[in-house]
Structure 1
Amino acid sequence: MFSRHVRPAVLCAAVAMAGLGAPARAPAEPLTLADALARAQVRSPLLTAAQAAVAAAEGRARQAGLPPNPEAGLQSENLAGAGQYRDFKSAETTLSVSQRLELGGKRRARQAAAVAEVEAARLSAAIAKADLDQEVAARYAEALAARDRLSLARETAERAESLAKAAAVLVEAGREPPLRALRAEAASREAAAAVVAAEAEAEAARRALATLWGEAADAVDLVDTPAPEAVGARGVDPAETLDARLARAERRTAEAVIDRERAAARPDLTVQAGVRRFQQNGDAALVVGVSAPIPVFNRNQGAVAAARADAAAAEARERLALARSIRTLRDAQASLVAANARVEALRGRILPGAETAVDLARRGFEAGKFSLLDVLDAQTALTTARTDLIAARLERAKALAALERAAAQ
């Protein structure tokens, strides 16, 4: 048994919980969520590819407005034959220029389809940006959560080590049975292993974040900024979200392609003018002509039918995109409400209750009413509550990012 003077010191050693001190490390650049978003917008290969696709569509639109090039021709007749045509003395040489004239509004229809494709490409680039913003926000939240779990794991490991040492002292003094020391030692080793796993998880989360702007993990210090205000899904028109607008643009593009293919079925005229020189007497004369294809076999009917089928499919996708937009907005709003409720419950009731239980277990143990096992269980419950709060905050951040993405216009 302990003397009255020795007992308080031993009891305090049994329940001491040392605060976690972050290990010394090289100075790192602070990185807020806004900074991460800005880096991704400037450096992301995904956005570079999307912007290149827009530039390609714009180039095709410029090409669609150009007329056909004129053609130059040189033709010689009545040479290398028999009799008086044996040589070049009776040859007739014609130098001509021909120009194909596009009829039936081909160029106008071609330009309209190309402009519609540019609009769709720009909306696709905007969607790529919105998707990137969502992924950056989600991975930033995951990196923050991994950092917080690492801090909690280190704190838990240090507490478990202190309890294991105190348990050994108490068992040796006869205050606790040997089983308590074995359990405390096992908990300490498990907590130490959890620190190693949490360190690997935190490093992987930082690498995943840095990958979004095409780099290896930077030496950054994540800044836990206050959560932004959620957008209101009720004030967003589902028909004006990016996904619905892209589907509408693709439907318009498909309709413009129908007009383009119909116009392509109309025959063009080719006019020709030239000068013919008669080698035998040196005379010259003008040559003019007009030619046009006869649309007997190929009236571009297959391409028109395919364009109509593509337009029907695009119209169906537009209806589906609108339905999905409505569902995504509602689901994201509901997820955010649920995540907020869970965070508030953990932060407002569960976590304070767990902290109070640990405090009561400490005092009860000091008064001899509780065992070391009671203190260990209370601390485990507190660690679980803190872990759940970290997970709830992560869910809230992801739900907010999903709602921002669903409401993007």
Structure 2
Amino acid sequence: MNPIVAAATVAALMAAGSSASAAAQAPGLALAGPLPPAGQMVRAGPLPVRLTLAQAMEEADARSPRVLAAAAEVEAARGRQRQASYRFNPILNVDVENFAGTGPYSGFAGLETTVSINQRLDLGGRRRARMTLADAEFVAAQYRLEIARADLAFEVRGQFAATIAARDDLALARENETRTRELVRVAQTMVDTGNEPPLRAFRANAALVQATAELRAAEAGETSARRSLAALLGVATPPAELIDGEIGTRPADVDARATLDVRLAETEQAIAEARLRGQRAEARVDPSVGLGVRQLRETGDRALVANLSMPLPIFDRNQGNVAAARADVAAAAARRENAVVTAAAAIANARADLDSAEARLAALEGAGIEQAREGVRLAELSYRAGKSSLVEYIDAQQAYAATRTELIAARRARAEAWAILARQAAAEGDADHQR
């Protein structure tokens, strides 16, 4: 048999055994599906003219570069996961001896050729450690993708609520300005007829100046809020109309230990532990074995050769890296405990804020706002009839505006508390898709 052919046969047998062993030891790799098309881009084009909260979150998820980047990181981790399963490549050695010498070894008369294959054996568990680490890093990348989506949904919920509140503030400011302008007209008429002193007209005009200033501020605030929402959705032109009223089902009790942030912290702890196992495996000795064929030119005979090589861990036993990896495990465990505490506090605070906002809304949306509105109507009738003063009428208007402002603030607080609970309740594979 030709020595090159023999060596190739040895290499094929080694490769076949390596592949079979890899398939047997890495069944989880079957979960790695095909990669997405290269050059995938975020969604472009205008937003719907009338935008609901559910549509806003869907648009943000489809248009966000950060979500696309996190998805690409998942595919990168999938590639590293696949790479980690491969064994060490065999090494082909070709040795040529006993040529270009003197006497019987002059020229190529005594040439001896040896072709061998050397394979490093993974007795220390390096491949298993690599695969465990890559699996954990793949899971962590998936969690980071879901967290990116959940964070984006949280931001959209908050900005959507802020834009709705700004819109309602603008509507209230316009209503106040219109009512105050009418008040100036009525006050001037009563001054002209002698029913009020001229000072009352000045007082009414001062109230109009204040209402106009508040209207301009509300217009600027509403424009800024709509632009911020548009930027969050990845467009320059804000939607023409927002459809509010979407809150959804109150999230069930959320276990802090089941939140995405805690799960990611647990996965990062598993990554640190896998790295520690990897560093310990690096400290172990992996021998290399070889098998080949030698051809003796002088006699034309062939013979098998075998070799074994092994590093001697006299100086470097990877002690420093093992100690560092052990400290990283302790740090990851502490970060996991901190994530649990932080999530529990966020959930408790959000539930308290939600209960408070709903209690305020129950009082304001019931008799509170109706009483304030009726108070303005009666104060206006009384003032027109000359039975009450201008100051009383202005006080009634201000009380109504304050009640409306409190109602708007309570609705926004409820939406923001709900956004926090929805963020904490986001589960793997379902982050921000609870809409």
So what's the TM-score if we normalise by structure 1? 0.84
Residues 305 and 179 (structure 1), Cα distance of their counterparts in 2 relative to 1, 3 Å cut: same
Corresponding position of 1:309 = 327
Q: Does 1:29 align with 2:49?
A: yes
- CA deviation vs aligned residue, 1:375-408 (integer Å, no higher than 9, x gap): 2221122112111111110001101111222233
Aligned to 1:374: 392
The answer for the alignment partner of 1:186 in structure 2 is 206
Alignment equivalent of 2:421, drawn from 388, 397, 403: 403
CA contact (8 A) 1:332 1:406 kept: no
Could you tell me how far apart the structure 2 residues matched to 1:54 and 1:192 are? 53
| Unpaired runs of at least 5, structure 1 | 1-26
Matched residue count:
381
CA distance in 2, matches of 1:290, 1:182: 105
Partner residue, 1:384: 402
Q: Paired residue for 1:114, among 134, 137, 140?
A: 134
SS of structure 2 residue aligned to 1:72: strand
In structure 2, give the amino acid aligned to 1:329: I
Name the counterpart of 1:3.
Answer: none
Secondary structure in structure 2 of the residue aligned to 1:290: strand
Q: What's 2:216 paired with?
A: 196
Contact 2:150 2:426 in 1 (8 A): yes
Q: Is the 8 A contact 1:45 1:213 kept in 2?
A: no
**Counterpart residue number, 1:264:** 282
Deviations 1:302-332 (A, max 9, x none): 2211121111112222222222332222221
Deviation at residue 115 of structure 1 after TM alignment = 0.9
Aligned to 1:175: 195
Which residue of 1 is the match for residue 18 of structure 2? Answer: none
Distance in 2 separating the partners of 1:114 and 1:62: 8
Instruction: Quote the RMSD (CA, aligned, Å).
Output: 2.7
2:227 aligned partner, one-letter code: R
Indicate how the Cα distance of structure 1 residues 352 and 279 shifts in structure 2: closer, same or farther if over 3 A, else same. same
Deviation at residue 229 of structure 1 after TM alignment: 3.1
Instruction: Give the deviation of 1:181 after TM superposition.
Output: 2.0
Helix, strand or coil for the counterpart of 1:296? Answer: coil
- The code of the aligned residue for 1:205 comes to A
- Aligned counterparts of 2:323 and 2:239: Cα–Cα separation in 1: 57
Task: Check the 8 A contact 2:53/2:246 in 1, yes or no.
Answer: no
Superposition deviation, residue 242 in structure 1: 2.0
Q: Give the aligned residue type for 1:129.
A: R
Instruction: Tell me, in whole angstroms, the C-alpha distance in 2 between the residues paired with 1:239 and 1:115.
Output: 21
Q: What per-residue deviation string (whole Å, max 9, x for no partner) do you get for residues 89-114 of structure 1?
A: 76665544332222222211221121
Which structure 2 residues correspond to residues 2-401 of structure 1 after superposition, within 5 A?
Answer: 29-76=49-96, 94-233=114-253, 236-275=254-293, 286-401=304-419
Output the CA distance in 2 between the equivalents of 1:196 and 1:344: 31
Structure 1 residue 264: Cα displacement: 1.9
TM-score, normalisation: structure 2: 0.79
Is the CA contact 1:136–1:212 (under 8 Å) kept in the aligned structure 2?
yes
How far residue 155 of structure 1 moved from its aligned partner, in angstroms, is 1.6
Distance (whole Å) between structure 2 residues aligned to residue 68 and residue 390 of structure 1: 65
Residue 337 of structure 1 deviates from its aligned partner by 0.5
Check the 8 A contact 2:372/2:403 in 1, yes or no: yes
* Deviation sequence 1:176-201 (CA, Å, 0-9, x none): 22232223223223322322322222
Identity of aligned residues (%): 47
* 8 Å CA contact retained: 1:71, 1:98: yes
Conservation of the 8 A alpha-carbon contact between 1:329 and 1:407: no
Q: Kindly indicate whether the alpha-carbon contact (under 8 Å) linking 2:354 and 2:414 is maintained by their aligned counterparts in 1.
A: yes
**SS of match in other structure, 1:67:** coil
Measure the CA separation in 2 of the matches of 1:240 and 1:250.
15
Alignment partners' CA distance in 1, 2:112 and 2:240: 81
Mapped to 2, the partners of 1:318 and 1:77 lie a distance apart of 61
